[in-house]
Amino acid sequence: MGDPKKQRKKFETPRFRWRKDILQEELKLLGQYGLRNKHELWRHKTFLSKVRGIARSLISKTPDERAKMEGELLARLKKLGILQETAVLADVLDLTIENILERRLQTIVFRKSLTRTIFQSRQLITHGHISINNRRVTIPGHIVSKAEEAQITYSVTSVMSEQTHPMRVSLTVATKEPAYRQPARGRRGGRGGGRF
C-alpha cells in the first residue's frame, strides 16, 4: 500500500516526451490555459486517459453488466460539466484535453471576465481573492462543477470585492482609443539624429 506520508505521482509522462510536435502542442496549451508547468497538464491528461479507458472497457461488456457503471461514469462527467446532458458513452471517447482544461477554476474565472488575463486569474486564486459559494478556494487547477460555476465571485474578505478597487474599475471601463503619434519632423526629426 505504501507509506501514507509519501505522495504518489498523480500523472503519467508522455511516451515520447522530446518529440518536437508534442513539445510544441504542450507549450501551446501551457500558454493558452496559463498552466504553471507540464505536470499540471500531464495530470489532466492522465485523468482523461483513465476516463476514456473506463469507457472503452464498458463498451466491450454486455449491456446488463455495463448499465450501472455507465450511468455512474456519465453522471460524474455531466456533473463536472465535461459532458453535455444528452451525452452517451461514445461521447466520452471523443473528449479532448481542452474539454478538461476549460473546467479548471483558473479558466472559468478568466472566461467570466473577473480578470484581464488568464495569468492574473491564477494569481488572484492563489492569493485567496476568489471564492466559490462563500468558501475561499486557492487551487487554480480545481475542476469546477456546473452547480459551482454560477457561485464563483470575489471573496468577501478580499479587497477585490469592493467595486471601487482600481482593478475592478479598469475591467468595467471601455478600452480607450489608441493615441496616434505625431509624424517625425524632417529628415532628422526622429530619435538619435543619425543618418539612417
* Count of structural domains within the chain: 2
Is the same domain home to 90 and 56? yes
**Distance set, CA 149 to CA 29, 67, 91, 145, 169 (Å):** 22, 29, 22, 6, 23
**Which residues are within 8 A (CB) of 148 and not within 5 positions of it... i.e. 6 or more apart?**
132, 133
| pLDDT per residue as tens digits for the range 60-95 | 898 888 888 999 999 999 999 999 999 999 999 999
Is the same domain home to 47 and 86? yes
Is the same domain home to 97 and 109? no
Residue 130 lies in a domain: yes
pLDDT < 70 stretches in the chain: 1, 173-196
Q: What is the pTM of this model?
A: 0.81
Is the same domain home to 154 and 97? no
Helix (H, G, I), strand (E, B) or coil at 22: helix
| pLDDT per residue as tens digits for the range 121-135 | 999 999 999 999 999
Residue 10 lies in a domain: no
Domain that holds residue 136: 105-171
Which residue, of 55, 73, 101, is where some domain finishes? Answer: 101
Residue 177 lies in a domain: no
Is the same domain home to 51 and 114? no
Residue 122 lies in a domain: yes
Residue 195 lies in a domain: no
